[in-house]
Amino acid sequence: MQQDNFADLVIGTRLKRVYELLSIDLDRVYKEAGLNFTVRHFPVVYALNNVDGLSISELQKISVLTHSAISQTVKQLVERNIVMMSVGEDARSRIVHLTKQGESLVKKLFPIWEMVNIVIQEIRQESANDLLLALNDFEENLLEKGFYQRYSSHISKAQKSEIIPEISIIPFHVKYRKDWYEINKEWVENLFVLEEADRESLENPEKYILAQGGEIYFAVQAGNVLGAAALKNHGQGEYEVSKMGVRPKAQRLGIGKQLLNLVIERYHARGGKKLYLETNSKLTKAISLYEKAGFVHVPSRENTPYARADVCMEYQVS
């Protein structure tokens, strides 16, 4: 994040600081005048001096403070006998009025407020930019379209325009050996038990797949391996789609489909006569993918090395 942006991001803190600079000195003025009054009380008392009898909601709208802040301020003023409450026409609403003591206090406050106004005008004139006018514009824009709404809109646009690194399908490389093992171990152990046939292919792919004339491919995005699949060669034109897996975080990116299509392409390129795969009935999404790619269900193989294999499918060229 650039340092230049810091002032923009702490705008709320800076506005609070301006308020504190003013309120500390104003409270000092009230105290030196011997008045039991604070800056926090000003919005309510000033509004009631102009219009006698206002509800909490009306005071909230006039002051632009929160309903909770107005309620707490009114409670303090009631305790100091500056304002009093009466029942409204609704019977459920409460109307706030100045007490006689409150009216007397306002008479003492007015000369102070007049001087405060002179000082504020002086600060505005000395400033290169008029803070009050700028705040009016800023506040109107926020009311028209809130901060959260704007933030969410920009996040949505950023996500839509984000450039997603391309997913490349590349052949086996020894540097991805660990990924080959982890990707397949993860999905197998999530639902089943890692079997001896799994361990052979995963722990020594060079011997049990590549050296037998098979091929292994990885789906890689920005250097991260997201998926893997193999084309095992069983000889005499018979091949098997084997050890196809995709990391959970990369699901629904179409990686499984890309890997499967490449394996099928390689099968055709090598003049294969039969392409099959074994899976489990629990893997419904994978089975659906195979069906769409042209695989059909056939009887299970009697010599399958996997105890979990209760589904066998063969590829049929349409």
The verdict on 214 and 106 lying in the same domain is no
CB contact at 8 A, 228 and 244: yes
The verdict on 94 and 177 lying in the same domain is no
| Structural domain count of the chain | 2
The verdict on 241 and 306 lying in the same domain is yes
| Rounded CA separation 254/252 (Å) | 5
Stronger pLDDT, 255 or 52, i.e. the higher one:
255
Band of residue 3 on the pLDDT scale cut at 50, 70, 90: very low
**155: in domain:** no
Span 269-288, mean pLDDT?
A: 95
Examine the fold and report which residue of 63, 96, 126 is the final residue of a domain before the chain moves on. 126
Q: What is the pTM of this model?
A: 0.51
The verdict on 310 and 183 lying in the same domain is yes
**152: in domain:** no
% the chain with pLDDT above 70? 94
**70: in domain:** yes
Band of residue 4 on the pLDDT scale cut at 50, 70, 90: very low
Which residue range forms the structural domain that includes residue 37? 3-126
Report the pLDDT value the prediction gives residue 192, as an integer from 0 to 100. 92
**Span 266-276, pLDDT tens digits:** 999 999 999 99
% the chain with pLDDT above 90? 58
**14: in domain:** yes
**150: in domain:** no
- The least confident of 11-25, 208-222, 292-306 is 11-25
**251: in domain:** yes
Contacts of 173 (CB under 8 A, 6+ apart): 218
Examine the fold and report which residue of 94, 126, 158 is the final residue of a domain before the chain moves on. 126
Report the pLDDT value the prediction gives residue 304, as an integer from 0 to 100. 94
Specify the CATH number for the domain of residue 94.
Answer: 1.10.10.10
Whether the pLDDT of residue 164 is over 80: the answer is no
